[in-house]
Structure 1
Amino acid sequence: MREGDGATDGSGAAGVTPARSTVAEHQRTLIGGDPALTMVELAERAAVPVEAARTFWRAMGFPDVADDVPTFTDRDVAALRAIAVLVEDGTIDLTTAVSLVRAQSHTADRLALWQTEALVEDAARRLHLDDTSARLVVLDRMAAVGAVLEDQIVYAWRRQLASLAARIESEVSHRPDDGVDADALPLPRALGFADMVSFTTRSASLGSQALARLVQGFEFAVRDVITSHGARVVKTIGDAVLFVADDLPTAAEVAVDLIAAIDARPDLLPVRASLVWGRVVSRSGDVFGPTVNLASRLVDVAAPGTVLMDAASADALVTGPKGSRFVCTPRPEADMPGIGTVRLAELRRAEPGRRS
């Protein structure tokens, strides 16, 4: 802690505010010095039109700045110039460049927030601080962990990209020439939703810390089940998670294990789940298509502690590879808004020794 609004013994005692110079020093380190360049100067040094520089900044997710206000550093110049070169040499077009910038910036925003909240929670728990004091401690100690977090981001990105490249290669090399319409959604996937039952009612009676523990406990538990089977989390939405797998048996294992894992946790609310097989399109890290809509509708009508499927997906599962591991029991039809009448089946794991 630098000399400023108060003294500290290094433990981040309550009521102590980091000096402004401390935060300013962190900012200088993170952005590459004091902001000295205006928007016009940023564009000039990056050798791009001013409007292109504005588009880059907006795609980063930041508010507009006046052309004559010093806001940028040489690090901003280097970032803008690097993406501009990809467009100029024909590697990508401008639309793709903007999409890439939006993707990385949105992800970085969510990641920085997640990391900061985790550090705040850590300080509050270990140092027995209130939320305000814990945040001040994190501000004061940001430089101590920033470099490690940056290295971990690069490491994780490299690992994730390598894994994605391997999945794409495997899928393309084994993709049959099945005569699918060229206009059909490109990716055959199994996907499902899982959500907590009675979350709205329960959350209304919880304090902030208890609510945070409930949501985090659910998210960590379902992520562990999903990733351990080789499936992937598409997104979490508070009390729900959307997951995707490249094959139906894997997704079925995920769905039934999710129910069991949450049921074994008395500190969490029971869940219900859905599972559907179909084609989707992937954009902006999310998946879209009628299959996603169907899975969303199914989870809404599933009973607590069950996995609900449409009959076509259930038939594909039990008649396909590893189908003997599962039992799909017919359930009454349901009218789904925007979809129509859907034949349903409840998914369970087969009893030991069962054979199809």
Structure 2
Amino acid sequence: MTADDGGTSRAVRATGEDGAAHGAATGSGHGRPGETHGNHDNGHAEEGDPLALRLESLILGAERRYTPFQAARAAGVSMDLAARFWRAMGFADIGQAKALTEADVLALRRLAGLVEAGLLSEPMAVQVARSTGQTTARLADWQIDSFLEGLTEPQEGLSRAEITYPLVELLLPELEEFLIYVWRRQLAAATGRVAQVADDAEMVDRRLAVGFADLVGFTRLTRRLEEEELGELVEAFETTAADLVAAHGGRLIKTLGDEVLFAADDAGTAAEIGVRLIETLSHDDTMPELRVGIAFGTVTTRMGDVFGTTVNLASRLTSIAPKDAVLVDAAFAEELSRSGDAPTSEAEVPEEERAKYRFALQPMWQRPVRGLGMVEPWLLTRRA
């Protein structure tokens, strides 16, 4: 998207009103999905791969009608604001190609309307666009790379490309409805967590348990395994971790290939997740050893991610944890003791009373941790 003065923006790649994959490949065979080359004054869509254009029209539910300038004008917003929104959503530059649809105009008008009504500030609206774009881009890439590709094996007399169109036509409404359902469920859960916060300040800076789980020796594995084997291992690890985190009441913040980051509202939940990860993966012969580090404290949450000293501490604990073990910080150990999930001191609890606790804590040697000073780690185990 380009303003009259030559400034650039990004075109929307959106599904329907929400703005998902634009995805029209060009006849040149170069460039990212969504990129177009050249500009035509005759009002027709840019030339490109006919199937790609048919798929785009099917997914978006509308034909190309607008240049970015025309779309901004139709939405009643300035080119500058339109450019900020489209850049935030992460769409490819298209200059002034006629590649946008009514859905793009409607999405832009809705975001701008929230700002005009005072429901969102302009920076917050841009943040909404960015977080939505980043999340749905990853989802769309996964669906194309894994799910859709797996269902479009070439058939006798038909190419994969020829199979794709009718398959997308069948799947699109079902996947769209499912996406809305999951989003509403996640929104309800997130809203419920906020509603339970007693202090308004805690809506942004909250006290949480934050944990990392890291595969040991992953760098060596990348040199030893074939790409397909490595991909299968990472997928199995991420799937197992995501399932365990969700099943036991935590939240998966993000996955980083050989590492996952999770959070929980209380130490007991995080302890269960950490120990379960070790128990589950240590019995899987295809998996390398695992290290888990968990810390408890104030965390800043932003766009679904978590930041702060507590997160950094959890990461450092992971790096120094023994193989197939969970290491926690002193604040986490204190919180676990306060909740009655583990005793403060094993020595002070009679042996016959220890069975009432779910976990055991063993103090480790204090050690300096880069950027955080002296740290007092505790080894967390499940009580037999």
The normalised TM-score by structure 1 is 0.84
Summarize deviations over 1:286-344 as a string: whole Å, max 9, x none. Answer: 00010000000110011110001122321331243333211111111221111111111
1:257 and 2:285 correspond:
no
**Could you say which residue in structure 2 is the equivalent of 1:215?**
234
Give ranges in structure 1 of 5+ residues lacking alignment. 1-18, 352-356
Of the three residues 99, 106, 130, the one matched with 1:78 is 106
**Could you say which residue in structure 2 is the equivalent of 1:98?**
126
1:44 and 2:77 correspond:
no
Q: Note closer, same or farther for the CA distance 1:209–1:51 as it changes in structure 2 (3 Å cut).
A: same
User: 1:116–1:138: 8 Å Cα contact kept in structure 2?
Assistant: no
Question: SS of 1:234's equivalent?
Answer: strand
Summarize deviations over 1:99-134 as a string: whole Å, max 9, x none. Answer: 00111111110010111222256348xx599xxx86
User: 2:67–2:99: 8 Å Cα contact kept in structure 1?
Assistant: yes
Deviation at 1:138, TM superposition (A): 4.7
Distance 2:321 2:165 in 1: 45
Of the three residues 58, 72, 81, the one matched with 1:29 is 58
* Percent of aligned pairs with the same amino acid: 36
Of the three residues 365, 373, 379, the one matched with 1:332 is 365
Within-5 A mapping of 1:37-186: 37-66=66-95, 68-120=96-148, 122-123=150-151, 127=153, 138=164, 141-172=167-198, 186=205
Question: SS of 2:377's equivalent?
Answer: strand
User: 2:297–2:331: 8 Å Cα contact kept in structure 1?
Assistant: no
Deviation at 1:185, TM superposition (A): 6.9
User: 1:214–1:268: 8 Å Cα contact kept in structure 2?
Assistant: yes
Q: Which moved more, 1:30-39 or 1:274-283?
A: 30-39
Give ranges in structure 2 of 5+ residues lacking alignment. 1-47, 343-356
Alpha-carbon RMSD across the aligned residues, in angstroms, is 2.3
Of the three residues 335, 339, 345, the one matched with 1:316 is 335
**Could you say which residue in structure 2 is the equivalent of 1:5?**
none
User: 1:215–1:239: 8 Å Cα contact kept in structure 2?
Assistant: yes
User: 1:185–1:279: 8 Å Cα contact kept in structure 2?
Assistant: no
Q: Note closer, same or farther for the CA distance 1:136–1:276 as it changes in structure 2 (3 Å cut).
A: farther
Q: Which moved more, 1:92-101 or 1:322-331?
A: 322-331
**Could you say which residue in structure 2 is the equivalent of 1:3?**
none
| Counterpart code for 1:32 | G
Q: After TM superposition, where is structure 1 displaced by more than 4 Å over at least 4 residues in a row?
A: 133-140, 182-185
Question: SS of 1:211's equivalent?
Answer: helix
Summarize deviations over 1:144-194 as a string: whole Å, max 9, x none. Answer: 32222111110100111111122222233xx6x9xxxx7997201011100
Q: Note closer, same or farther for the CA distance 1:198–1:121 as it changes in structure 2 (3 Å cut).
A: farther
**Could you say which residue in structure 2 is the equivalent of 1:354?**
none
Question: SS of 1:341's equivalent?
Answer: strand
Of the three residues 337, 341, 345, the one matched with 2:374 is 341
User: 2:194–2:203: 8 Å Cα contact kept in structure 1?
Assistant: no
Deviation at 1:39, TM superposition (A): 1.7
Question: SS of 1:332's equivalent?
Answer: coil
| Counterpart code for 1:240 | E
Deviation at 1:136, TM superposition (A): 7.6
Distance 2:80 2:203 in 1: 37
**Could you say which residue in structure 2 is the equivalent of 1:194?**
213
1:225 and 2:244 correspond:
yes
| Counterpart code for 1:349 | R
Q: Note closer, same or farther for the CA distance 1:44–1:189 as it changes in structure 2 (3 Å cut).
A: same
Q: Note closer, same or farther for the CA distance 1:183–1:165 as it changes in structure 2 (3 Å cut).
A: closer
Distance 1:149 1:308 in 2: 40
| Counterpart code for 2:378 | A
